[in-house]
Amino acid sequence: MKALKKLAATAAFAALAANLGVANAALFFSGSVGGAPTGTNKWNFDDAPPALLTYVAVPGAAIVSGGLDGQYAPPHLSGGNGMGFGIGGTDQPNGTNTSKYGTSGSTGSTAAAKFIINFGSAQQYLGLLWGSIDPFNTISFFNSGSSVGTLTGTNISVTANGNQGLMGTQYVNINSSLAFDSVEFTSSSFAFEFDNVAFSESRQDVPEPGSLALLGLGLAGLAAVARRKQKQV
């Protein structure tokens, strides 16, 4: 059974990787229940950023908590998504995230809205808790201002539909063959919500995809869960 799960995970990863365009050629990713690898730098937005990391929240983007109808909703924690991101390196409890998190805002409402994270050195790994994954969500990687690659919600989940519950959040581990020193989070419609950022100057062995992620992939083609967010004006 375990071998079948690994085979399914490999097939799912190959299918997702096939969706990558030229701009994404440097990026290798997986989305699952499991969280960030051990030994990485971590930031959960409740504390001051780690040394050398800075962020810019362009109007429309912000660090928030809770939810605001029509604008943002907190990610959902399950399995190992919150491992090591609690106070003093403890694990966060499962359920709706009650801590602070980042939101990109919407370029549909505020044209320049985006959340930017700048690193003080070149990185090759990024992890994040990606909430209510939408096709509208985009994360862009840069090195000295030049594009390294981009990922959208549909790259991460074939069922990306803004589900704010258990099945709508995944911990996404991204390795890059090219170094990057900044990332930008944007969304053309509904906001891009994210938390539990991890990063490293070297590529990482990531946790094996959990059964929840495989179940989500198996639900492709079924009726999408209706999004609770109201369309922004």
In a domain, 230, yes or no: no
Are the C-beta atoms of 141 and 150 separated by less than 8 Å?
yes
pLDDT over 70, % of the chain: 78
Q: How many domains does the chain have?
A: 1
Predicted pLDDT of residue 138: 97
Predicted pLDDT of residue 208: 59
Whether the full predicted model's pTM is greater than 0.95, yes or no, is: no
| Residues 78-122 pLDDT 10s | 888 888 898 888 889 999 899 999 999 999 999 999 999 999 999
In a domain, 226, yes or no: no
Are the C-beta atoms of 99 and 66 separated by less than 8 Å?
no
Q: Which residue has the higher pLDDT, 209 or 166?
A: 166
Predicted pLDDT of residue 160: 81
In a domain, 7, yes or no: yes
Burial of 93 (0-12, 13-18, 19+ CB in 10 A): exposed
Please give the C-alpha separations between residue 203 and each of 65, 124, 139, 166, in angstroms, as whole numbers: 31, 5, 18, 28
pLDDT at 179 over 90: yes
pLDDT over 90, % of the chain: 56
- Structural domain including 189 reads 2-218
In a domain, 155, yes or no: yes
Question: Which of 68-72, 91-95, 183-187 ranks highest by mean pLDDT?
Answer: 183-187
| Residues 110-157 pLDDT 10s | 999 999 999 999 999 999 999 989 999 999 999 999 999 999 999 998
